[in-house]
């Protein structure tokens, strides 16, 4: 089953020309149509490429997401805002502020602890605590160590993101969505398939321990 569709909506620079392009894309029904995968219910979006003052982008992001959420609601879909370290909403705290400003039933969080970690936030418990748990609709799993905002990827559950604590908190809060493995780690020999198998087993074991 495909749960989330990727999309490049709002992955542009936040300037006047880009804002116009986003408005046009919001008005294009094809971006919110799901023909091939009727099981998909989330459309993943971002928050413009990160600027030197992300907080100044807040109002524009809220406005763009509001339009998207309205159109998604008409189609029975959910807009999932991923916290992405290369975009203006990169941490749990930043995502929490956007969600608080736009209390829309068709806008949810796609929570990526490792992305928040790259920006210097402790994703669990700090970043996660800034999110409304009931609006976390999807979770991305990858793991890393970070030095100078640069990530070195490794096996899920064996690096510096507290996945044990995070999964326990998701269970505590009644999370019933998916945890999707992201294959950033290439393994010790560059074989992403083998690396993904390792991460998948680790993630399965972490979830099983909390079941």
Query: Where does the pLDDT of residue 105 fall: very low under 50, low under 70, confident under 90, or very high at 90 and above?
Result: very high
The CA-based angle 174-178-183, given to 5 degrees, is 135
Q: Which of 165, 121, 173, 113 is nearest to 139 (CA)?
A: 113
The CA-based angle 195-198-199, given to 5 degrees, is 85
pLDDT given at position 39: 63
Q: What is the mean pLDDT of residues 173-193?
A: 95
pTM, 2 dp: 0.89
Task: Please state, in angstroms and rounded to a whole number, the distance separating the CA atoms of residues 51 and 74.
Answer: 32
pLDDT given at position 71: 87
- Quote the crossing angle between the two packed helices 163-172 and 192-209, to the nearest 10°: 50
Q: Which of 95, 110, 111 is nearest to 161 (CA)?
A: 111
Question: For the chain, which domains are there?
Answer: 4-209 (3.20.20.150)
Task: Please state, in angstroms and rounded to a whole number, the distance separating the CA atoms of residues 51 and 180.
Answer: 28
Query: Which of the residue ranges 74-78, 79-83, 152-156, 203-207 would you say has the lowest mean pLDDT?
Result: 74-78
Report whether 43 contacts 33 (CB < 8 A): no
Query: Which of the residue ranges 12-16, 84-88, 112-116, 124-128 would you say has the lowest mean pLDDT?
Result: 12-16
Q: Which of 149, 182, 188, 187 is nearest to 163 (CA)?
A: 182
């Amino acid at each position: 089953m495909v749960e989330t569709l990727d999309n490049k909506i709002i992955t542009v620079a936040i300037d006047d020309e880009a804002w116009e392009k986003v408005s046009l894309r919001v008005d294009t029904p094809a971006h919110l149509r799901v023909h091939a995968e009727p099981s998909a219910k989330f459309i993943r979006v971002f928050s413009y490429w990160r600027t030197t003052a992300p907080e100044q982008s807040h109002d524009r992001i809220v406005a763009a997401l509001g339009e998207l959420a309205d159109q998604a609601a008409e189609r029975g879909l959910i807009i999932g805002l991923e916290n992405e370290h290369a975009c203006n909403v990169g941490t749990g705290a930043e995502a929490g502020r956007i969600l608080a400003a736009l209390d829309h039933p068709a806008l949810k969080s796609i929570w990526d602890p490792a992305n928040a970690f790259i920006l210097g936030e402790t994703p669990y418990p700090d970043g996660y605590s800034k999110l409304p748990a009931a609006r976390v609709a999807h979770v991305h799993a990858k793991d890393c160590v970070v030095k100078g905002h640069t990530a070195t990827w490794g096996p899920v559950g064996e690096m510096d993101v507290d996945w044990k604590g995070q999964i326990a908190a998701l269970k505590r809060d009644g999370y019933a969505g998916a945890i999707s493995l992201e294959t950033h780690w290439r393994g010790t020999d560059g074989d992403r398939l083998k690396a993904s198998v390792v991460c998948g087993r680790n993630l399965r074991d972490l979830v099983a321990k909390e079941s």
